[in-house]
Amino acid sequence: MQLIPAIDLKNGQCVRLRQGLMEDATVFSDRPAEMAAHWFKQGARRLHLVDLDGAFAGEPKNFPAISEILEAVGSHIPVQLGGGIRDLATIERYLKLGLHDVIIGTAAVKNPDFVREACREFAGHIIVGLDAKDGRVAIDGWATVTEHHVIDLSRRFEDDGVNSIIYTDIGRDGMMSGVNIEATVKLAEAVRIPVIASGGLTNLDDIRALCAVADKGVAGAITGRAIYEGSIDFAEAQRLADSLIQ
């Protein structure tokens, strides 16, 4: 069970949103590269970046901060990024910069064939990010909730070569209300692609609950507000996860 610190970028700063609302952002650092180095020193084996401005604009908007983060830790651990990735040229630019994986979200919903093309062009480097509210997938920085059910959509990517699916429960994201274990397991059992949980991770009980379902196909969990506000000590949480899954 790999725990993955999140660094959400807005105007070059490290922030956390509540339920994806840009107007409800808490700034945790104006030096994202230093924050990335901090999590690496705490034992992070992977980092999760989100270009929040890019997610709403549909194109990269925090390139300088992303470049600095990759300079700081990119040679040590894999870094993945989502937000504003809508074409193959953007993926190529990011991978050349040093990103290990790119996360396709809105574009995967609007144009599933794009995922297939990306996997063919950049094999081994594509993750699909599906953010859902009451089981329905949201797009455009969570501004629009579609009629697509997360499980039905996920099944479309099974044969494309996607590394994993990041499943975010919007209702719990940034709310410190616990991971939606039931919905995450339901998705993981429905597809052959490993699922990474996101949204609501609050305390060590959540870590224990996730480890208990690791054999269902839940491969990891992204954590944000909990490690920034201190309800979870990241190093302690990863050690606990390692001890529970031998």
167, 161 Cβ separation under 8 angstroms: no
CA atoms of 22 and 184, how far apart (whole Å) = 25
Pick from 62, 35, 224, 78: which is nearest to 164 by CA? 78
CA atoms of 161 and 179, how far apart (whole Å) = 27
Q: Residue 198 belongs to what H/E stretch?
A: strand 195-198
Q: What is the DSSP letter of 87?
A: S
Match 């034992």 to its residue by tokens: 43
> Which residues participate in catalysis according to the annotation?
8, 131
> 136 in the Ramachandran plot: left (φ > 0), alpha (ψ -120 to 50) or beta?
beta
DSSP codes joined into one string, 160-184 = TT---EEEEETTTTTTTS---HHHH
The CA-atom distances, in angstroms, between 6 and each of 81, 141, 166 are: 10, 16, 12
